[in-house]
Amino acid sequence: MADQNGARAGIEEILGYTFQDPTIVYEAVSRERNPRLAFLGDKVVGLILLDIWYRTETSCAQGYSRLQDYATNKAMAHQAIRLHLDAFAAPGPSQSQRATLGTHGLGTEIEALVAATWIDSRRNFEVVKSVMKNLHLCPDHA
């Protein structure tokens, strides 16, 4: 349990958010348990990015470009590695090393953590946007 608490504290420090329900953090970083959170997180990331884009009154092409810049597994995996979130990923049963997570697994972990924040914060848009800024998943000026 001490190891899990340390992992949670490390994740919270990176995200800049303290979870009220610690179990949702463990679910988010567990490959076996995070697919539903990742599915939700994918949509939350898109919603927040498109809301930021909409306020800029730029073209739809620029909105699509913003999604490509920030919301792909490749972009999210890059940030996971850059911020050392990969150190907290719990490998699935067929994975003996964290390194085997790959781009998809790390992107999924980021999406799941965004969804966990969305749920834990009671769907607080500004809290999640702040977490996304800390994860470098949206423009600095947002």
CATH of residue 47's domain is 1.10.1520.10
Which structural domain range is residue 98 located in?
Answer: 8-15+22-134
Give residue-wise pLDDT tens across range 34-82: 999 999 999 999 999 999 999 999 999 999 999 999 999 999 999 999 9
Q: Does residue 47 form part of some domain?
A: yes
- Predicted pLDDT at 97: 47
Facing residues of 30 across strands?
A: 90
Share above pLDDT 70 across residues of the chain, in percent, rounded to a whole number: 89
Higher pLDDT, 48 or 141: 48
Q: Does residue 3 form part of some domain?
A: no
Q: Does residue 142 form part of some domain?
A: no
Q: Does residue 92 form part of some domain?
A: yes
Q: Does residue 67 form part of some domain?
A: yes
What's the total number of domains in the chain? 1
Question: For residue 31, is pLDDT > 90?
Answer: no
- The answer to pTM > 0.75 is yes
Crossing angle, helix 35-56 and helix 102-120, to 10 degrees?
80
* Residues 138 and 129: beta-carbon distance below 8 Å: yes
